[in-house]
Amino acid sequence: MRYDAVLIPGGGLLADGTVPPWVVARLDAAILAAGEDTPIVALSAGTPHKPPPRDSQGFPIFESVAAANYLISRGVKASRVYVETASYDTVGNAWFARMIHTGPRGWRRLLAVNSEFHMERTEAVFRWVFGLRPVQPEYHLHFLSTANRGLDETAVTRRMEREKESLARMRGLIASLTDVRAFHHWFFTEHGAYKGTRRWVAADLDDSTLRTY
């Protein structure tokens, strides 16, 4: 199937600022799915759960930029690679992808590629955000799961438990926020990662689970 664009949510970085094995699996799958000419959009600035790695000059390394560097190193033309450097979670990945890239470009047939441990919530969130009214013509979303490469069973199990808990907490929001205007107000006034009074607070996570962010 041909897509207008392939979207890759962020999945963390290693201490040296490179993408971890489970993100490499996403990127490799995206390369295959995109073929020779479909744009690939790497998403995410980072995570609110831990500080970002920094480059030799002390600047933070964005997850999406590290992903883009990997894509280009694998032979994807730079002119086909786009980044989004504003989001810090899955909801933000979807929102900024729509506002910054898919909306302006008119991309409607989309493939989102993410790790198996993260896919259930990814699909729910992306269908929610890309379905916010008004949307004309409508988006056609497709999803591709990739292996949890490089993660031990304990880390995957604990992360999937957190994913289910997060999705359960979001059900009410998904049902009540159905248009762009209402979502925008909630997102920038109540969401802890994007409101004006945001404060980064490290999550109470064990090291194994924290690696997955």
Please provide residue 153's backbone torsions phi and psi, each rounded to the nearest 5 degrees. -60, -35
Asked if 67 and 25 count as a contact pair (C-beta separation under 8 A), the reply is no
Q: Is residue 89 part of a domain?
A: yes
Q: Is residue 167 part of a domain?
A: yes
Per-residue pLDDT tens digits for 30-82: 999 999 999 999 999 999 888 999 999 999 999 999 999 999 999 999 999 99
Asked if 59 and 65 count as a contact pair (C-beta separation under 8 A), the reply is no
Q: Is residue 140 part of a domain?
A: yes
- What's the number of CA atoms in the CB half-sphere (13 Å) around residue 115? 23
Asked if 95 and 191 count as a contact pair (C-beta separation under 8 A), the reply is no
- Of 5-14, 66-75, 201-210, give the lowest mean pLDDT range: 201-210
> What was the pLDDT predicted at 206?
82
For the chain, give the mean pLDDT: 95
Q: Is residue 209 part of a domain?
A: no
Residue 135 has pLDDT above 70, yes or no: yes
> What was the pLDDT predicted at 205?
81
> What was the pLDDT predicted at 209?
86
Which residues, 6 or more positions from 73, have their beta carbon under 8 angstroms from its beta carbon? none
Per-residue pLDDT tens digits for 68-115: 999 999 999 999 999 999 999 999 999 999 999 999 999 999 999 999
Q: Is residue 210 part of a domain?
A: no
Q: Is residue 92 part of a domain?
A: yes
Give the structural domain span for 176: 5-204
How many helical (H) and strand (E) elements, i.e. helices and strands, does the chain have? 8, 5
> What was the pLDDT predicted at 200?
67
Q: Is residue 212 part of a domain?
A: no
> What was the pLDDT predicted at 203?
67
The partner residues of 84 in beta bridges, in order of sequence, read 43
> What was the pLDDT predicted at 210?
86
> How crowded is residue 24: how many other Cβ atoms within 10 Å of its Cβ?
18
Give the CATH number for residue 76.
3.40.50.620
Q: Is residue 153 part of a domain?
A: yes
* Number of domains making up the chain: 1
Asked if 3 and 34 count as a contact pair (C-beta separation under 8 A), the reply is yes
> What was the pLDDT predicted at 8?
98
> What was the pLDDT predicted at 144?
98
Per-residue pLDDT tens digits for 163-203: 999 999 999 999 999 999 999 999 999 999 999 987 766 66
Which residues, 6 or more positions from 164, have their beta carbon under 8 angstroms from its beta carbon? 120, 121
**Cis check: omega of the bond before 9, within 30 degrees of 0:** no
